[in-house]
Amino acid sequence: MVSIKNLLPLFAVLFALGCAEKGCTDPEALNYAKSAERDDESCRYGDKYLDQKESLIRNHEALSYALYSDALVLSNTLKTSVDAFLEAPDDDGLSLVKLSWRNAYFAYLQCEALRFSNGPVDDDRELSRMLGQWPINPSLIDYTTGETGGLISDTLALPIISASTIEAINQGVNKNQTSTGFHAIEFLLWGEDDEDVSLFTVGDRSHLDYDLEDSTTINAKRRGQYLGAATELLVNQLGVLVTEWDSLNNKNYRKEFLELDENVALKNILTGLGTLSKSEFGSRVLKEAVASGSQKHEISNFSDNTSTDLAALTYSIEIIYRGTYTPQTGLEVKGKSVEDLITEANPELATQVDEKLVEVIELVSVIPSPFDWQASQEHEFGAGPILAASNALFELEALFKEVAREFEIGIETDLP
């Protein structure tokens, strides 16, 4: 016979179990309860980061709208300065237009991490090419040292110059023959730069190219019309992108983006970050410029604005990764970010990405200006600051791929 005395320990255990807090004890479950001492078979499984991803996606669409809105605002300022300059061309007016161009283009380049993401800038309207294609062939537009014509002098190919006609003529040509966008305007403001980079010059176009009262100036009227039309088209096309991300429009890309599966949307965001880091910035902008050794293979080769362009590209990566941006007008946009998400999932990897991004920013900032001269030096004498920044961007892209793998998402970052 079992005595009551011998059963007392068993009763104590049963009592303790009965009083133990019940809940899900599996750390991998969505409803894991740290304080639970006894599993009650209530564990639920799925995407433990679903809420964070949804918040990240909502913040990303707000960032996209703010970034494109700033580019539009500053491009409108550019258009205003162009219109005023064409009314009364002089040196001061041309200088003001050039400054407006620099500001507008900086704002546009801050949107670059939104490219390569299956968004509206990437679709069959080819807005990315029409807005930002580089390098361009300037002889398609106006006179150069080697050519006397271009569309400005060709009244048969382009009898009427307007935003719609130059858009139409670009839609019908080879993708490498773009004559619209920021760099078409840049050429019309600066003119060709001397190929001898040791001269440290920029394009030397004079305001007299637009002076209707100077009878010796050839095509001044059509040149002014082309500059005005190209600027108008730029504003129109940026307006399209703003509308596509506008929260007040319920039939646009923003609505489609918010309805995407969370992992698809996250994949698009990471693809944009990775592709910009390696294929566009690290390779095409930096590595290929050194390989070519020619000033014609830099982003802003007419104005030598490229050092500023590089800063804008690094900011673009940082803005989208960190999820924070303060617009020209309006309140700061800040919310759940890729950085926040990976910090929760893999703090060690998040630290690696952060350190590499800081390194990229620092390496890009010390690339000597003018960029074309530095690229020519590295082409002739070997690796220097440009290729050091390029290597760091390749390493950053590899880390973005690791971030994608952390969430079982594969990304492809090579350009076609």
- Is residue 62's pLDDT more than 70? yes
Minimum mean pLDDT range among 16-30, 93-107, 323-337? 16-30
Decide if 14 is inside a domain.
no
Is 124 buried (19+), middle (13-18) or exposed (0-12) by CB count in 10 A?
A: exposed
Decide if 35 is inside a domain.
no
The percentage of residues in the chain with a pLDDT greater than 90, rounded to a whole number, is 78
Closest CA to 285 of 174, 411, 196, 375: 375
Decide if 38 is inside a domain.
no
96-146 per-position pLDDT tens digit: 999 999 999 999 999 999 999 999 999 989 999 999 999 999 999 999 988
Instruction: Show the CA angle centred on residue 315, arms to residues 347 and 103, nearest 5°.
Output: 165
Query: For the residues 5-30, what does the mean pLDDT come to?
Result: 64
DSSP of 182-220? HHHHHHHHH-PPPS-GGG-------GGGG-TT-TT-TTH
* pLDDT band (50, 70, 90) for residue 281: very high
* pLDDT band (50, 70, 90) for residue 7: low
Minimum mean pLDDT range among 69-83, 132-146, 170-184, 358-372? 170-184
pLDDT of residue 46: 61
Top-confidence residue, 320 or 293: 320
312-327 per-position pLDDT tens digit: 999 999 999 999 999 9
- Is residue 274's pLDDT more than 70? yes
How many other C-beta atoms can be found within 10 angstroms of the C-beta atom of residue 186?
Answer: 24
pLDDT of residue 3: 58
Collect all residues with Cβ–Cβ distance below 8 Å to 39 and sequence separation of at least 6.
Answer: 22, 23, 24, 25, 26
Rounded CA-CA distance 240/242 in Å is 5
Minimum mean pLDDT range among 183-192, 223-232, 263-272, 292-301? 292-301
The answer to whether residues 368 and 385 touch, using CB atoms and an 8 Å cutoff, is: yes
CATH code assigned at 320: 1.20.1420.20
pLDDT of residue 13: 46
Decide if 55 is inside a domain.
yes
- Is residue 199's pLDDT more than 90? no
Decide if 16 is inside a domain.
no
Tokens of 213: 């009262």
Decide if 7 is inside a domain.
no
Total domains, the chain: 1
Decide if 5 is inside a domain.
no
Query: For the residues 64-79, what does the mean pLDDT come to?
Result: 98
Closest CA to 396 of 302, 303, 317, 292: 317
pLDDT of residue 132: 96
pLDDT of residue 221: 97
pLDDT of residue 14: 43
| Long-range CB contact pairs, 139-148, < 8 A, 24+ | 140/177, 140/179, 141/179, 141/184, 141/187, 141/188, 141/226, 142/187, 142/188, 142/219, 142/223, 142/226, 143/218, 144/192, 145/192
- Is residue 279's pLDDT more than 80? yes
Decide if 26 is inside a domain.
no
* pLDDT band (50, 70, 90) for residue 5: low
* Range of the structural domain that residue 78 is part of: 50-406
